[in-house]
Structure 1
């Protein structure tokens, strides 16, 4: 019988070498978004104040606070910087910004009356 040994593949990091560096990059992204919030409100004419935008930004970062893998953190930071670049270059429009507060997906009705009124069976 052969013994089964776990073989681990050593992967290269995307940008950060350790968690400390990944955390520093994530905080840099947070600060960049935080500083750009007044311009987002001004240029995109968002009907939210700065405090609401800051709470939404904080909510997105707290949602991913439990991630510990350095490569995943780097990937999320890269996606965040892409999002910021799209906003700063006006590649995104007002609807893209507002979608963070107004989800368009309505939950489907599960009760009999709700299905009957919606016309689904």
Structure 2
């Protein structure tokens, strides 16, 4: 896939009314939905396109309660920027991102295997469940006898 930066270039625009903002959000959602097979192909992901589409739907549903037009415009700008960077293959390998170090620890991912940044969208599903009560959290944080070596 050849990177053509101007292929997805757009001027930043603001929505004058709520129906215009909704139409722009639907347009962005459709672009992500139609681009899912291309994303899987570009980054050689081991997940099907429908999993990418489900995750995109989840991200859009997460912001469904936003009703301020200016806030929607900012979310649309960020979403379109993410889409442009993803489709143009401007994203780096997961091993380069320092911010993903915690995900690498929890998921026990070897940075050298070349996992794509796109897989960070699925990191929350792979993390272990958080303890519900204080005692569960306390017991989970206790050191295992095999890991702690006494100082001699």
- TM-score, normalized by length of structure 1? 0.76
Deviation of the 1:105 alpha carbon: 6.8
Judging changes above 3 Å, is the alpha-carbon distance between structure 1 residues 86 and 69 closer, same or farther for their aligned structure 2 residues?
same
Higher relative contact order (CA 8 A, sep 6+): 1
2:122 match: 101
1:76-99 Cα deviation digits (max 9, x unpaired): 000001001101211114531000
Structure 1 Cα separation of the partners of residues 118 and 140 of structure 2? 35
Structure 2 Cα separation of the partners of residues 44 and 95 of structure 1? 6
Identify unmatched segments of 5+ residues in structure 2. 1-12, 93-114
Runs of 4 or more, structure 1, over 6 Å off, are none
Instruction: Kindly indicate which of the two structures has a greater share of residues assigned to helix.
Output: 2
Aligned residues: 106
Aligned mate of 1:111, from 124, 127, 138: 138
Deviation of the 1:113 alpha carbon: 5.6
Identify unmatched segments of 5+ residues in structure 1. 1-13
